[in-house]
Amino acid sequence: MLVSTSATTVTFASGAGSGSSTVQRVDVTPSGGTVVVVESTPFHPVDHTWPDQPGDSGQIAADGVSVRVTEAVMAAVSDEGVFAVGADIPVKRGAEGWTWLVGHPLDGDAPAWLAEGARVDLSVDVPRRAGLSRGHTACHLASLALDLALADLWRKDPGADALGAPNFEARANQSSRIHEDGSVDDYRLGKSLRRAGFDTETFAATLADREVAINARLAEWVGSGAPSRVVPEGPTIVDRRSWHCELPEGTAEILCGGTHVASLAEFVSISVSLDLTDPQLLVMTTTAVPAA
């Protein structure tokens, strides 16, 4: 039985780590790997345009046998039938003329039972997902605390972040890499930022004080045990999702396609270190300690 390909429905926004679905397609990529697409999945895929959070790993199983999914990825099929995976997708996420999917790359070839139309069970590596969710939430909190700690360094209005502070994160961030229980963010402190009104000289001279202020704010937020959740606008992989967290300063809402904790009570602590070894590049390393 052939199953037509439609946009993948995803359940990870609600925290789901398992589910059952029907296989839509099994494809071999140009590199020789096998990718499985199902109608509905709990797997969070790495985004091909902003790959900050790694994709989920886990298993696909049926009748007591299973195959391993190495790391879920974005996939898409064009109206002309061109199937593309990950970095080989030639358009931005959500572009017209493409059906958007979650691909499940296998560790090895697909067994005979894993074919179009088959009913399968999907399960995510839950401890790894939990670590990545803590890392992603900590990353957002660190960026908000950074914006607040640098608010006095702006001579012009750069726009506001989710808490109404001057948005250094949006102006300067050039990469974000999330891992289990932490993240590393790079911020470019070049001429364009100075022209935008940011005082890089004072920032460099007060770096240690800024780090102390960020960590004090993060300790306050963790101590609040604030609720945290992902709010989707629809069920498919390309429907917008946003992260909401009810912080003491107000509810922060940030567009985000990743996974997050349900409460800041899941942390013992979140802290950052700021590195300005290269005066043109701020590196912020965020470390989360999970609650037992």
Task: Please report the DSSP string for 111-173 in residue order.
Answer: PTTS-TT-EEEEEE-HHHHHHHHHHHHHHHHHHHHHHHHTGGGBSS---B-TTSSB-HHHHHE
Question: What pLDDT shows up at residue 4?
Answer: 56
Domain boundaries, the chain: 9-124, 128-290
CB contact set of 121 (below 8 Å; sequence gap of 6+): 18, 19, 20, 60, 61, 62
| From the candidate CATH numbers 3.30.70.20, 1.10.10.10, 3.30.980.10, 3.10.129.10, the one assigned to the domain spanning 128-290 | 3.30.980.10
Question: What pLDDT shows up at residue 224?
Answer: 98
Output DSSP code: residue 53. Answer: S
Asked if residue 88 lies in contact with residue 59, where contact means CB atoms within 8 angstroms, the answer is no
Question: What pLDDT shows up at residue 163?
Answer: 98
Nearest in space to 253 (alpha carbons), one of 230, 276, 270: 230
- d(CA 72, CA 103) in angstroms, rounded, equals 6
pLDDT, tens digit only, all 292 positions of the chain: 344 579 999 999 999 999 999 999 999 988 889 999 999 999 999 999 999 999 999 999 999 999 999 999 999 999 999 999 999 999 998 899 999 999 999 999 999 999 999 999 999 999 999 999 999 999 999 999 999 999 999 999 999 999 999 999 999 999 999 999 999 999 999 999 999 999 999 999 999 999 999 999 999 999 999 999 999 999 999 999 999 999 999 999 999 999 999 999 999 999 999 999 999 999 999 999 999 8
- d(CA 194, CA 174) in angstroms, rounded, equals 16
- d(CA 210, CA 3) in angstroms, rounded, equals 55
CATH architecture group of domain 9-124: Beta Barrel (2.40)
Nearest in space to 106 (alpha carbons), one of 48, 26, 181: 26
- d(CA 201, CA 261) in angstroms, rounded, equals 36
Nearest in space to 151 (alpha carbons), one of 205, 216, 203: 203
- Are 9-124 and 128-290 in the same CATH fold? no
Strand partners, 20: 121
Reported pTM: 0.96
Nearest in space to 256 (alpha carbons), one of 235, 240, 270, 234: 240
Asked if residue 37 lies in contact with residue 104, where contact means CB atoms within 8 angstroms, the answer is yes
Question: What pLDDT shows up at residue 1?
Answer: 38
Measured CA to CA in angstroms, residue 21 lies from 40, 122, 216, 239 at distances of 6, 8, 45, 20
Nearest in space to 176 (alpha carbons), one of 143, 147, 144, 153: 143
